[in-house]
């Protein structure tokens, strides 16, 4: 087993230039390969649908992929969902230049071909433990969206279903098939 000589802090990674796609998990830096075009297209679709819904109702802000959320300290964890939503009442007038303090209300993760089930489950736990109200796991291969609102409150939406915002975005609804177009 490898030992880590120095745990990295959120402040250190924010200062590193040209770091690329990565997350900081309990003080360790995890680099990620660039996502493919299918992955990016799904993120675009979700961002448009969620962004339009949230903006029209002035519910808060949608954040794009690579936005870092500082969800744990000592050792530091900064995760970056593919899409995130934060309610208006949690936002200051001006967004910080650094990482957002705390979890988003909604974290959306689109699975990549190299994602491992154990890693995804740990990510879901991290988000929920940090106060995230809902985590959506989008599976392009099976064309499903699994919504976790608590570890045991899980709903799966299939391609032919209407994806709803449940408690975190009441009133939001879109045919799941449109996410995968």
Enumerate the domain spans of the chain.
10-179
pLDDT tens digits, residue range 61-107?
999 988 989 999 999 888 999 999 999 999 998 998 888 999 999 99
> Could you confirm whether domain 10-179 is CATH 3.90.1570.10?
yes
What is the pLDDT at residue 6?
Answer: 67
Tens of pLDDT, residues 57-71: 999 999 998 898 999
- Is the pLDDT assigned to residue 124 strictly greater than 70? yes
**Separation in Å, CA 131 to CA 26, 66, 86, 117, 146:** 17, 19, 12, 22, 18
Q: Please give the angle made by the CA atoms of 73, 86 and 108, to the nearest 5 degrees.
A: 85
Tell whether pTM > 0.75. yes
Please choose, from the candidates 87, 142, 70, 81, the residue with its C-alpha nearest in 3D space to the C-alpha of residue 107.
81
Q: Please check whether residue 136 is in contact with residue 99, taking contact to mean a CB–CB distance below 8 angstroms.
A: no
pLDDT at 76: 86
């Amino acid at each position: 087993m490898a030992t880590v000589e120095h745990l990295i802090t959120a402040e250190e990674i924010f200062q590193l230039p040209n770091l690329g796609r990565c997350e900081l998990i309990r003080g360790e830096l995890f680099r990620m390969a660039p996502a493919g075009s299918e992955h990016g297209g799904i993120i675009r679709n979700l961002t448009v649908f969620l962004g339009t819904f949230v903006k029209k109702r002035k519910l808060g802000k949608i954040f794009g992929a690579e936005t870092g959320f500082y969800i744990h300290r000592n050792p530091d964890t900064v995760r970056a969902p593919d899409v995130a939503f934060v309610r208006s009442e949690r936002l200051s007038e001006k967004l910080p230049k650094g990482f957002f303090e705390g979890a988003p209300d909604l974290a959306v993760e689109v699975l990549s071909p190299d994602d491992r089930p154990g890693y995804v489950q740990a990510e879901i736990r991290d988000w929920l433990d940090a106060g995230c109200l809902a985590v959506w796991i989008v599976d392009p291969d099976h064309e499903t969206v699994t919504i976790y609102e608590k570890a045991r409150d899980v709903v799966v939406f299939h391609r032919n279903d209407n994806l709803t915002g449940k408690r975190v975005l009441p009133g939001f609804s879109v045919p799941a098939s449109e996410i995968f177009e």
